[in-house]
Structure 1
Amino acid sequence: MTQRLFFDCDTGIDDSVALLYLLARADVDLVGIASTAGNVPVDVVTTNNLAWLELCGRPEVPVHVGPAAPLVAELMTTEDTHGPLGVGHATLPTPTSTPSHLDAPDAWIEASRTHDGELVGLVTGPLTSLATAIRRDPALPARLHRLVIMGGAFHTHGNTTPTSEWNVAVDPEAAAEVFAAFGTDGAPEPIVCALDLTEQVVLTPGHVVRLSAAAGSSPLERPDPGDERGLRSVADNEIIRHLTDALRFYFEFHHDHDEGYIAHLHDPFAAMVALNPDLVTTIPARVDVELVGTLTRGMTVADERWMSPLGPNARIATATDLDAVFHDLIETIGAFVRNLRHAPA
């Protein structure tokens, strides 16, 4: 059965992998993409989304531009993690298509009205666009079939501050408003894929070898920590070449921060959960965001023991089958890229 999905992202290396996975799924109707400022500024996010869509032969998918800044805070970006253009060492072709005239918040509203009760929402960046949409149309949450959010850290460290995860840290007010809007009045409880679980989704060079092989790309990509910094791929498959250049930057970033020559695939994992919630075990919780703490601004707080009279407004993903995750990710993207390469022009 076809699932209609609206994707809100701040593309981003792992957002790029998530987008490729969504495009690779034949059972997904990607009704729109919201470009939200985060990893890089919103114009760069938009360009990356348009470029990936053209590379994958899907320029008809509308790309909507979100706000240029968070609701309250000044925008912070993280080019040190994702590269100056958000895609690591990759140099994507300049897209010929242009973004939709409809901005990202209004696109959220329109998609939820057009597909009332069946739309799956997926957010892998800051929640600015969705929060703005809910401000314009408070009934929006109740029209969603499901919402999956990549963000937060509950029983682990943050990755931006000691207590805050990146997507929430960029726009804590937006995150607080979104969580407050769900769990009541018929709105579904979002599934939250937080660092507690997504940092277990560890991509290794071996996975890149497997992906290159699944795509029929030559020569096989074999990233190694001994490689010259910034080494560029010579793969004959264009998508694998760009993807490897992006992932190599991600490996280098994690290696520089003493995490190993690996990469955390936060966003592709959330995309997989959006399409198959049974992939994860979840627990109900009341989730809120600290907005004023001197040391804890942007911290996600989960009431898992009902200390508050308020009921749950989210389900936190706590466990998954990592082998199954990587098998699906590699086989799905690999087959898509292989078939795309041999498709008639």
Structure 2
Amino acid sequence: MPTTPLIVDVDTGIDDSLALLYLLASPEAELVGITCTAGNVNARQVAINNLAWLELCNGPDVEVALGAEVPIIAPLMTTEETHGPQGIGYAELPAPTRTLSTRHATQVWIDNARKRPGEITGLITGPLTNLALAVKLEPELPLLLKRIVVMGGAFNHPGNTTPTTEWNVAVDPDAAKIVFDAFSVVPDDRRPVICALDVTERIEMHPHHIAELARAAGSTPDEIISPDDEPGRRSQASNKVIRHLSDAVRFYMEFHRLYEQGFLAHMHDPFAAAVALDPSLATVREATVDVELAGTLTRGQTVADWRGMWGQRPNAAIVVDTDPAEFFRRTIDRVGALARALG
């Protein structure tokens, strides 16, 4: 099976965690490096979460590097109310013994891209700060990478942070602007793939998905998350991956219910990970994308010119459709098998 070399840039929260599990469970994913940025929680906690998931899953000895701890200009926002005080909901992962790289995240991006020009796909599921800083240091980076897949933005869809703005872009809109501008030079077949809220909010994880994952992992007893449970109930699953994943996702479901979105969890980041490995999972439409930086009400809004009104060539392939059931089938098969193997 051909492999996909990946640099994964994350702000590990709950859905980033499942994205990592999806990649660890996918034999075609070659993790070249994991870079950490502030977003869902502070960057150092993000790094701890990444190391802990790798260790729990007996993952490869991949380089995990700390990156930007603050946005380029804006003050840092984090969202512990969405992802929990450590970013992983109610899960309490064992403290990792693995250590962080001595290199900065930007150096991981640049050195690996230079070493393997045209080979590496970048997957960014947090704010775009690290990639923006790397592009400033190495302007050729967009041409050195094979492609990037970004979870971020909202186009014909409401925002989830402000009425018009998605979280990852809202944290560092200046970085998003830098990246979209920089990647305008890439060939048509290597345009950034943007997984925005328009589609990712259709990737709804429900309690039955967790139950199916647990069955696939051979975990006992039946893993039942119910909206009638008292808040904060902890999993008793025999399988360690299922137990921690269930505790993380329960927190996320409780958050979504609190904000009247239903007892479910939007799995934005795992979907982007799946698309990075198999672009055929997504239907895309090309557009020219820019980021509003000056609006008093709309700073951070991602704007797509679908019709060429700006007279500029497209710089992004925006995901406009997918099959959520197929995504969850793959997730359950892959992560379930990984969990079963780990016991």
Q: What TM-score, normalized by structure 2, do the two folds share?
A: 0.98
Q: Deviations over 1:285-329 (max 9, x none)?
A: 000000010000000000010001210000100001111111001
Residue of 214, 217, 231 corresponding to 2:216:
214
**Aligned pairs (5 A) from 1:40-55:** 40-55=41-56
- What letter corresponds to residue 99 of structure 1 in structure 2? L
- Secondary structure of 2:185's partner? coil
Structure 1 residue 94, shift from structure 2 partner: 0.5
Partner of 1:141: 142
> In 2, are the aligned partners of 1:35 and 1:42 still within 8 Å (CA)?
yes
Structure 1 residue 186, shift from structure 2 partner: 4.3
**Aligned pairs (5 A) from 1:1-345:** 1-58=2-59, 60-186=61-187, 188-341=190-343
Q: Distance in 2 between matches of 1:44 and 1:298?
A: 25
> In 2, are the aligned partners of 1:24 and 1:333 still within 8 Å (CA)?
yes
- Secondary structure of 2:295's partner? coil
Q: Distance in 1 between matches of 2:36 and 2:57?
A: 18
> In 1, are the aligned partners of 2:12 and 2:40 still within 8 Å (CA)?
yes
Structure 1 residue 58, shift from structure 2 partner: 1.9
- Secondary structure of 1:182's partner? helix
> In 1, are the aligned partners of 2:155 and 2:302 still within 8 Å (CA)?
yes
The answer for unaligned runs of 5 or more in structure 2 is none
Q: Distance in 2 between matches of 1:310 and 1:40?
A: 36
> In 2, are the aligned partners of 1:254 and 1:261 still within 8 Å (CA)?
yes
Q: Distance in 2 between matches of 1:320 and 1:103?
A: 35
- What letter corresponds to residue 177 of structure 1 in structure 2? I
Q: Distance in 1 between matches of 2:156 and 2:211?
A: 33
- Secondary structure of 2:12's partner? coil
Structure 1 residue 59, shift from structure 2 partner: 5.3
> In 1, are the aligned partners of 2:150 and 2:193 still within 8 Å (CA)?
yes
- What letter corresponds to residue 70 of structure 1 in structure 2? P
Q: Distance in 1 between matches of 2:342 and 2:182?
A: 40
Q: Distance in 2 between matches of 1:83 and 1:262?
A: 16
> In 1, are the aligned partners of 2:292 and 2:298 still within 8 Å (CA)?
yes
Structure 1 residue 340, shift from structure 2 partner: 2.2
Q: Distance in 2 between matches of 1:276 and 1:58?
A: 21
- What letter corresponds to residue 54 of structure 1 in structure 2? E
Structure 1 residue 183, shift from structure 2 partner: 2.8
Q: Distance in 1 between matches of 2:16 and 2:161?
A: 17
Structure 1 residue 117, shift from structure 2 partner: 0.6
Q: Distance in 2 between matches of 1:175 and 1:53?
A: 28
> In 2, are the aligned partners of 1:50 and 1:59 still within 8 Å (CA)?
no
- What letter corresponds to residue 215 of structure 1 in structure 2? A
Structure 1 residue 118, shift from structure 2 partner: 1.0
- Secondary structure of 2:96's partner? coil
Deviating above 4 A after TM superposition, structure 1's stretches of 4 or more consecutive aligned residues are none
- Secondary structure of 2:148's partner? strand
> In 1, are the aligned partners of 2:28 and 2:277 still within 8 Å (CA)?
no
Q: What TM-score, normalized by structure 1, do the two folds share?
A: 0.97
Q: Distance in 1 between matches of 2:245 and 2:179?
A: 32
The answer for unaligned runs of 5 or more in structure 1 is none
Q: Deviations over 1:255-292 (max 9, x none)?
A: 11111100000000000000111111111100000001
Q: Distance in 1 between matches of 2:20 and 2:318?
A: 23
| Percent of pairs with identical residues | 55
